Structure 1
């Protein structure tokens, strides 16, 4: 029988995150600090709008690009929060989560052999999506001493004549790093000079704890060379609704929309009606959740410091990325042993790229009660490792 499988698909590595979740699901008394998902319920008024849309029989396809009123709300939001303007009719599209938008953007812009710059550690989907789009992924390894921010020097060092796209994953999963205006301005200068495009993934934009989030699309000369991606999963606690969006110049969005038409048709109708309500009346919900995450963030950082785990201060998303190199264990070995001995699941930093080796990702999207119990177990584990090393 002829091999039915695609060599490209077979060569893709499965997510380094999933196996820990699978083990935890079958382990009584285990606590997971690995899931990148808000522990809040979707705000009731948002759920109610989704329910109402069903009761009214709004169960048909929307237009391919999404509900007109939702695109208008997205446009208003981007102008209000990010100081960028997009035409809702031609420059905004609703997608099935931000993940679909990443895939669409790459497939719409990449020709075989084009290089895509991917700062790491980063979200696990960028690299495989680039491969599936026939791009050549080029990894830029970010440094803890720079708080995992991308510098202009690092960017320049990786640009070649084949470079076409830079992915900007900030606020960052897994590190919690952010890029402020002073960090983005030299990056934008290089991007303009070298004539490359940017995909900016801003799914954690509302979870910024130091000043206001700034999008690179708002900087001079960057709107026309930027694809902005965001969504509802993190800010509005709507992960299961599977809804994201992208905003881009019309020339690019038209090509993304064609792929979306053939692959997806449209995002879920019920989710879109709920998202209209979230955008119109959800600012207070977002502020409340952000304040709660910030409280947890400060608690986790304080606790890690007390147990002697080195960790730079993350100022975005809901992750910390402590350094565990001093124990002489790989990230995976540390995570596996912690799970076995203390029944606490964290994610090895190596799951997010080779430069994540020597770190672990801890999510603080959990209640303070769960965090206190879990970190107490981590503290016991760390103490045993220190005693063994003496």
Structure 2
């Protein structure tokens, strides 16, 4: 074929449709970016919040048994398998102090993230400019889910009320209730509440929950309570906002077997709330994924049933507190302050004292994301420990609030934490006096 014929044929090829602006220019997500950097140098990965240890044997055995039984290989009902609905109802009935109707007040989802997307989809209308209030720093899936459902995210930050250059409590991070109230407009539909909180580790107190609930009540707002870390608290009890007076009727509580049982790859979650909120959530769920993995629903149900009887949740909390205290001791040793988490499994470390050369050769993809990304990348390359830059959990106007923090996960083995302790000894030579 002649060159002129090739040129003629290529000229006849029509241009492809343009992708949505939401997805056309997206670069590497922070998880891929930091995981790749860690893999390149063999760094200890304390970045992404997945468990580096296996689930307890009774949990995996429950899933294996479900897979072996032929009754669990076809579609589950969109609402969820009866055995799992019963276990979730029992758990939430105790926590919320009310009976939960498995036929109308629960829906089972493909992970907590899909549960969140289903609620947003059910209660936001495209083209109306409806708003959702999110408290920063915020899980980075909230805003994309809100956008996919046709909404707009409005950010209200938690602010540290203690000096950042000393160890502080996660309870020192406060929500300004006047700032929350001021963020409400006639277009506001939903408040997202994450407690225990990722990445701060804050467990909201009853007075704080009552004030948030009062704002929702005054403006007739829905509350989405993201409580995936509800069983991982340390010396502070988690309280569900849906258990407070008048809050059940306006709250959807979201949970996750991934966090509850340490099986994040199983992708089984749930939403709990009154029929008026769960029914449209379920309707959206059936259009997003239709139904959730059948054998793993059965496995989760059996594991939850056994966990309630064998003391698993208490043992797991104790194990996580040990890991938390071990990671805090590591940073005590090297001389960096942090935020003591009352819940979840992350430690925010203030690395303002770390000296970085002004001419350090950061990759363009890192340098372009700002100083907080550069700091996290520096930890990977120079100290051999991977963390996540909390700037990813803020909107652009508030990214300065991420300051000099790096988020490290302690859902890791003792061997992994020991390796991090050894690697971070080098950091002592990089601290300003």
Aligned to 2:204: 179
Aligned to 2:253: 228
Cα contact 2:132–2:188 (8 A) shared by 1: yes
Gaps of 5+ in 2: 1-14, 162-170, 357-370
Aligned to 1:52: 65
Which stretch of the first structure deviates more once superposed, 171-180 or 303-312?
A: 303-312
Between the two proteins, the alignment pairs up a number of residues equal to 386
Gaps of 5+ in 1: none
1:137-170 deviation line (CA, Å, top 9, x unaligned): 1111211226334342331132222211110011
Cα contact 2:133–2:153 (8 A) shared by 1: yes
Aligned to 1:238: 263
Q: Hey, what's the Cα distance between the residues in 2 that align with 1:99 and 1:328?
A: 38
Instruction: Select 1:374's aligned residue among 412, 420, 428.
Output: 420
Report the CA distance between 1:326 and its aligned residue: 4.2
Aligned to 2:383: 342
Aligned to 1:81: 95
Q: Hey, what's the Cα distance between the residues in 1 that align with 2:300 and 2:95?
A: 17
Cα contact 2:137–2:157 (8 A) shared by 1: yes
Instruction: Select 2:278's aligned residue among 246, 253, 257.
Output: 253
Distance 1:245 1:142, change over 3 A: same
Q: Hey, what's the Cα distance between the residues in 2 that align with 1:101 and 1:148?
A: 27
1:233-279 deviation line (CA, Å, top 9, x unaligned): 11211111110000122122222212221221211111111111122
Cα contact 2:200–2:339 (8 A) shared by 1: no
Q: Matches of residues 94-243 of structure 1 in structure 2 within 5 Å?
A: 94-111=108-125, 112-145=128-161, 147-243=172-268
Distance 1:328 1:85, change over 3 A: farther
Q: Hey, what's the Cα distance between the residues in 1 that align with 2:98 and 2:406?
A: 35
Local SS of the residue matching 1:267? coil
Segments of 4+ in structure 1 off by > 6 A? Answer: none
Distance 1:150 1:14, change over 3 A: farther
Q: Hey, what's the Cα distance between the residues in 1 that align with 2:339 and 2:205?
A: 16
Is 2:337 aligned against 1:292? no
Q: Hey, what's the Cα distance between the residues in 1 that align with 2:328 and 2:392?
A: 22
Is 2:429 aligned against 1:384? yes
1:149-204 deviation line (CA, Å, top 9, x unaligned): 43423311322222111100111111111112122111111211121111010000
Q: Hey, what's the Cα distance between the residues in 2 that align with 1:148 and 1:133?
A: 30
Is 2:367 aligned against 1:331? no
Is 2:116 aligned against 1:91? no
Aligned to 1:5: 19
Report the CA distance between 1:12 and its aligned residue: 5.4
Cα contact 1:324–1:331 (8 A) shared by 2: no
Instruction: Select 2:404's aligned residue among 341, 358, 362.
Output: 358
Is 2:335 aligned against 1:308? yes
TM-score, normalisation: structure 2: 0.84
Superposed CA RMSD in Å reads 1.9
